[in-house]
Amino acid sequence: MSRMLVVGNGFDLAHGLPTRYKDMITELQKQFTLPKSASKWLSAEDIDRFYFNPFIKYFTQSKSGSNWTDFETDIREIVNYFSLGRSGSPFNANINSCFQTFSRPLKSGQTFKQWSELQKYLNELIEYIDLYLSVYLPKVYQPQNYSPNTQFPNFIYQQEYDYFLSFNYTNTYYDTAETLDNGIGVNTPLREHFIHGRCSTSGTPQNIVLGTEDQDPENLDTIYFKKYFQRIQKRTGREVYDWFAADKEIEVDIFGHSMDITDKDVLLMILNTAVRTHIYYYN
């Protein structure tokens, strides 16, 4: 029987990494208070772009929780607020204030330019997330010498896995595994897949997927904001299906994933296909 490790953001949190979306927004707010030339990891041009980005402006004011599911819920709320057919939804003063240049609803054809602009702002948000994870985090976070006998989540590094599936953008599992056993490292799966893409720390361009579940498949105006479309566009998401098609007996450990509806298509496939599933969650 083969074994698969699936990780979500709780896995990074268990390693002490500040990878909640609120951590990223809080750090950016600190950068906004500094003279532009004082930032050690953002250019003055980047700071200007991010400061005036309506998504980021909204998230700095949002009262939602700190988890990625809350982040994605906010994105869905913004997109739905402007979407054709949603004009009857309650007025939202915060969204209206942050997205002042956008009309409501954004109508198909007539406001294609505005949908493109909204897409551009989402891409800027993705750029910031990549900079935070690939430039800022390595500067301030010094990897500890994790011991598989003493450091939580120690049992993960004691297991032999055939497959690794990550919903994160970071390379935490492999980076940590390399430091174990006095630097010799521990065995890791040869078959890996980052279903939401990866940040650019690996030396390749980022292909980060950031969006919502598909609640309205007939609405093509909002297709770019849906995860399933971004996975196709950025060429992520196929491997895990191929693994289960080729290997009929896979036992799965899921560590630190919220099991939220935003990833239900992939999670349901895993839960319905795996011969056995163990779920470990943070806090």
Query: Distance between CA atoms of 62 and 55, rounded to whole angstroms?
Result: 10
- Cβ 109 vs Cβ 145: under 8 Å: no
Domain holding 273, by residue range, is 1-17+145-195+237-283
In this predicted structure, which of 105-109, 111-115, 154-158, 196-200 has the lowest mean pLDDT?
105-109
Q: Are residues 55 and 188 in the same domain?
A: no
Query: Residues 51-100: pLDDT tens digits?
Result: 999 999 999 887 666 677 788 888 988 988 887 555 556 778 889 889 98
Query: Distance between CA atoms of 170 and 74, rounded to whole angstroms?
Result: 22
Q: Are residues 8 and 24 in the same domain?
A: no
Q: Are residues 249 and 190 in the same domain?
A: yes
Q: Are residues 124 and 155 in the same domain?
A: no
Q: Are residues 35 and 104 in the same domain?
A: yes
How many Cβ atoms from other residues are within 10 Å of residue 1's Cβ? 10
% of residues, the chain, pLDDT over 70? 85
Q: What is the mean pLDDT of the chain?
A: 86
In this predicted structure, which of 35-39, 196-200, 214-218, 249-253 has the lowest mean pLDDT?
214-218
Q: Are residues 127 and 184 in the same domain?
A: no
Radius of gyration, CA atoms only, the chain: 20
Integer angstrom CA distances of residue 208 from 104, 131, 146, 199, 212: 28, 12, 28, 7, 13
Q: State yes or no: pLDDT of 223 exceeds 80.
A: yes
203 vs 107: which has the higher pLDDT? 203
115 beta partners: none
Query: Residues 105-126: pLDDT tens digits?
Result: 665 555 677 888 999 999 999 9
**Which pLDDT band holds residue 30 (cuts at 50, 70, 90)?**
very high
Residue 1 structure tokens: 């029987």
Count of positions (residues) in the chain: 283
Sheet containing strand 250-255, edge to edge, reads: 191-194, 163-166, 2-7, 250-255, 276-280
Q: Are residues 47 and 112 in the same domain?
A: yes
Q: Are residues 1 and 58 in the same domain?
A: no
**Which pLDDT band holds residue 250 (cuts at 50, 70, 90)?**
very high
Total structural domains within the chain: 2
pLDDT at 91: 76
pLDDT at 262: 77
Q: Quote the DSSP letter at residue 91.
A: P
Q: Quote the DSSP letter at residue 88.
A: T
Query: Distance between CA atoms of 255 and 12, rounded to whole angstroms?
Result: 10
% of residues, the chain, pLDDT over 90? 49
User: Which of 95, 118, 140 is the last residue before a domain boundary?
Assistant: 140
User: Which of 140, 158, 184 is the last residue before a domain boundary?
Assistant: 140
Q: Are residues 28 and 125 in the same domain?
A: yes
Q: Are residues 22 and 69 in the same domain?
A: yes
- Which residue carries 């390379």 as its tokens? 171
pLDDT at 62: 78
Query: Distance between CA atoms of 183 and 48, rounded to whole angstroms?
Result: 42
- Cβ 238 vs Cβ 172: under 8 Å: no
Q: Are residues 133 and 60 in the same domain?
A: yes
**Which pLDDT band holds residue 261 (cuts at 50, 70, 90)?**
confident
217 vs 51: which has the higher pLDDT? 51
Average pLDDT over residues 13-21: 88
pLDDT at 178: 86
